[in-house]
Amino acid sequence: MLGNPLSTGEASMKVKTLILRAPGTNCDQETIEAFEEAGSRVEVKHINSLLKDPSILDEYHIFCIPGGFSYGDDLGAGKILACQLKYRLRKPIERIVSEGRIILGICNGFQALVKAGLLPGLSGLFSRQEATLALNEGGFFIDRWVYIRCEEVTRCKPLKDLAGAILHAPINHAEGRFIAPPDILDILEDDGYIVFRYVDPSGCISRGWNPNGSMNNVAGICNRDGNVIGLMPHPEKYIHPYTHPSWTRFDNILEDNCLRFFKTLVEYTYLHIL
Contact set for other proteins, span 213-272 (CB under 8 A): 213
Element (H, E) at 36: helix 28-37
Amino acid in the structure at residue 211: P
Concerning whether 94 is annotated as a catalytic residue, the answer is no
The yes or no reply on residue 166 touching other proteins (CB under 8 A) is: no
What length does the chain have? 274
Per the annotation, the verdict on 107 as an active-site residue is yes
Helix (H, G, I), strand (E, B) or coil at 239: coil
Q: Which of 57, 80, 146, 258 binds other proteins (CB under 8 A)?
A: 80
Q: Does 186 bind other proteins (CB under 8 A)?
A: no
Angle 108-115/79-88 helices, nearest 10 degrees? 50
Element of type H or E holding 268: helix 259-268
Segment 32 to 61, residues that bind other proteins, using CB under 8 A: none
For the range 125-131, what are the long-range contacts, defined as Cβ-Cβ under 8 Å and sequence gap of 24 or more? 125/93, 125/94, 125/97, 126/86, 126/90, 126/94, 130/180, 130/181, 130/184, 131/178, 131/179, 131/180, 131/184, 131/188, 131/221
Tell me which residues in 128-147 interact with other proteins (CB under 8 A).
128-132, 134-140
The nearest distance, CB 205 to other proteins, in angstroms, is 20
Task: Respond yes or no: is residue 83 known to be catalytic.
Answer: no
Judged by CB under 8 A, the number of residues near other proteins is: 28
118 binds other proteins (CB under 8 A): no
Binding other proteins (rule: CB under 8 A), the pick from 16, 21, 61, 115 is: 115
Hey, is 226 helix, strand or coil?
A: coil
What minimum distance in Å lies between the beta carbon of 235 and other proteins? 26
The answer to whether 160 touches 113, Cβ cutoff 8 Å, is: no
Residue 124 binds other proteins, judged by CB under 8 A: no
Residue 179 binds to other proteins (criterion: CB under 8 A): yes
What are the catalytic residues? 107, 234, 236
Q: Applying CB under 8 A, which residues contact other proteins?
A: 71-72, 74-76, 79-80, 83-84, 87-88, 115, 128-132, 134-140, 179-181, 213
